[in-house]
Amino acid sequence: MAIHKIQINDFISIDYELIAIHSSLEDYRLVYFINKLIQIQLRKNDSNIEIENREGKGIFSHFIFDDEIHDIIWNVFENKATAITSEKSTNGIFDSIDITMYVLPEYKKADYILKIENIEPSFFPLENIIQKLSKIDQISMVYPIDQNKLKSKNNLIF
């Protein structure tokens, strides 16, 4: 009987790209412009992204488009949200402290993240996507994120 060993490295493959977006637009307006320029159909996901830590729970809006023709999944989500704290403080002065949580704390200045899944990074025209996004007047900055340097990769599993 042959023994087949599965290495953990077999499952560690990066088949997605991340793009940071700096914009003061509301999420639905940003998604409208992205849909228009890139010719995709992002829609509000029924379930938001929830991240919980010891300080509280953050709920982030999430838009998704599953391109079945090209087998690519497009995600746009907020990078920052005000946390819902689980503890009630009775100190009076500290009752109204808002805690900001991030999906990617390494990129605190990014307002939104575009995650493109199921792609082969060497064949995907990421620069073309970045150029198209930079044409949106209300986007002040857009740039790729190197996922190899992320410490919070687990937050991207949703």
pLDDT band with cut points at 50, 70 and 90 for residue 92: low
Q: What percent of the chain has pLDDT over 70?
A: 82
pLDDT at position 18 is 94
Q: Is the dihedral of CA 42, 73, 39, 23 positive or negative?
A: positive
Residue 116 burial (C-beta neighbours within 10 Å; 0-12, 13-18, 19+): buried
Q: Is the pLDDT of residue 107 over 80?
A: yes
- Mean pLDDT, residues 115-142: 88
Go through the chain and tell me how many residues it has: 158
The per-residue pLDDT for 53 is 80
pLDDT one-digit tens code per residue, 31-47? 999 999 999 999 999 88
pLDDT at 61: 93
Overall average pLDDT of the 122-137 stretch: 88
| pLDDT (average), residues 14-18 | 83
Q: What is the mean pLDDT of residues 77-103?
A: 73
Q: Give the amino acid at 113.
A: I
How much is the pLDDT for 10? Answer: 46
